Structure 1
Amino acid sequence: MTVAGWQRVLLGFSLALAAGEGADGFRLELPWMAWFYAALLLVGSVWLWRKNSRGAVAMLGALHLIELVMLLTVFRTAEEAPPTWLWWLFVLLSMAGSVAAGASLVSGRRRASAR
């Protein structure tokens, strides 16, 4: 199956966020948490690429939303907060991924109802 427009955007943002999380893990005291989150993003990306599933889109959208909420609440003032430029990069990737997931789910629903 082919991956549609918004799903490609979501895939790109998910892979970029996974790479950022993987690299950020080296600076943290507990790197396994960042690496586990990166692994979840990679699993969701592979699932989306292979199966073109709405479930994969929902999973990646939820992961992007969780990251965004954590960045805006916990990691904003945490002792191990990322540097400002990296924090903003994570926020932008998470916001864009959430928007892409929502747009993908809405456009998929519109295509299904048009049939």
Structure 2
Amino acid sequence: MISTGQSLFPNHPVISNGQSLFPCHPVKSNDQSLFPCHPVISNGQSLFPCHPVISNGQSLFPCHPLISNGQSLFPCHPVISNGQSLFPCHPVISNGQSLFPCHPVKSSTFLQL
């Protein structure tokens, strides 16, 4: 969980109803960005093991595949793709699904990527 560091979601801290948005791999932070320069490791597992973020053969971000060329998947500022922030002020919706369905970021509107 974010403590005193920087949030990847500055307008919506990565806490929802007191729960981490990533409950299976709670993100620990002590004045570090949520996704520093290397993949987040928790209990010996990388939160993003494949670098283009692949899960069960699917990209976590299908509308904007992430290109890895030796740089962090999530640098210190929101990921920008084609002039758009991957994580703007509202929850990321793809094909009508929230990328974070278990703990949707509360907002009155959604962004369609």
TM over 0.5: no
Higher normalized helix content (fraction of residues): 1
In our comparison, the structure showing a higher alpha carbon Rg is 1
Relative contact order: is structure 1 or structure 2 higher (C-alpha 8 Å, sep ≥ 6)?
Answer: 1
Higher normalized strand content (fraction of residues): 2
- Quickly name the TM-score band, shorter chain normalised: under 0.3
